[in-house]
Amino acid sequence: MGGKPVWFIACGVVFVALSSANVRSALAETIAEKVEVCAGCHGQGGKPIDAMTPIIWGQQSGYIYIQLRDFKRGDRKSEVMQPIASSFEKQDMLAIAEYFSSKPWPDLGQPRSAKENAERALRAEHSVGCTGCHLDQFQGSGTVPRLAGQSREYLTKTIADFRTRTRGNNPGMSDLMLATPPDDLAALEDYLAGL
């Protein structure tokens, strides 16, 4: 009696064919997606939104990688960067570092140091030998960061953080900064921002 219940089963089968070119573009997309969030603070065109946020466009790739790794490990403390870096695996960090490193360094238009200040900065530079590591014109290389034209407020903050070891991921840099007189560091911060 009565009709039989009829069950409709809808099956959706999706075939995804992945040629190696597709795999490559899928990976590129993942990195493009992962870096979207960065622009919110580090800037769409590489100019950070806030002066306390460093330029990462055109920064040395090895250096960017080490910082992401250290944020994730908690060796470099940052309430903002730690949760972001924690979501990345090593391969992501290497790809993200490469991505930003290949972008052009933005010009923040910070004023050049006045002559007297520049002379003081260069005397301090010669006595410590900053460019022995940061290289000519403070361009950096590999795991040593570029400092030329970096945000002045950020340079001041991070050098202060090295001195208090709040930034504890490179004890050697902390030792160096503690051994350099504060007035010389202030001159260097002004000089580097204006390069």
Among 67, 101, 113, 139, binds ligand HEC (CB under 6 A): 67
Secondary structure in 3-state letters for 122-145: HHHHHHHCHHHHHCHHHCCECCEC
Rounded least distance, CB 108 to ligand HEC, Å = 13
Burial of 26 (0-12, 13-18, 19+ CB in 10 A): exposed
Residues sharing a CB contact under 8 Å with residue 27, sequence separation 6 or more, in sequence order = 95
Distance CA 3, CA 110 (A): 82
Smallest distance from the beta carbon of 24 to ligand HEC, in angstroms? 21
- Per CB under 6 A, 110 contacts ligand HEC: no
With binding defined as CB under 6 A, does residue 194 bind ligand HEC? no
Q: Which stretch binds ligand HEC (CB under 6 A): 5-13, 25-33, 110-118, 128-136?
A: 128-136
* Choice between 22 and 28, CB closer to ligand HEC: 28
- Which of 83, 129, 171, 181 touches ligand HEC by CB under 6 A? 129
Tell me if 121 contacts ligand HEC by CB under 6 A: no
60 is an interface residue for ligand HEC by CB under 6 A = no
State the Cα–Cα distance between residues 34 and 92, nearest whole angstrom.
8
Q: Which residues contact residue 82 at a Cβ distance below 8 angstroms, ignoring those fewer than 6 apart? A: 71, 72, 74
For residue 192, the number of C-alpha atoms closer than 13 Å in the C-beta half-sphere is: 28
Distance CA 195, CA 191 (A): 7
| Binding segment toward ligand HEC, per CB under 6 A, in 1-9, 24-32, 108-116, 139-147 | 139-147
| Member of 31, 41, 51, 135 binding ligand HEC (CB under 6 A) | 41
Selection from 178, 190, 101 nearest residue 152 by Cα: 190
Smallest distance from the beta carbon of 104 to ligand HEC, in angstroms? Answer: 16
Q: Which of 31, 51, 78, 103 binds ligand HEC (CB under 6 A)?
A: 78
Q: Site for ligand HEC (CB under 6 A): which residue of 133, 135, 186, 195?
A: 133
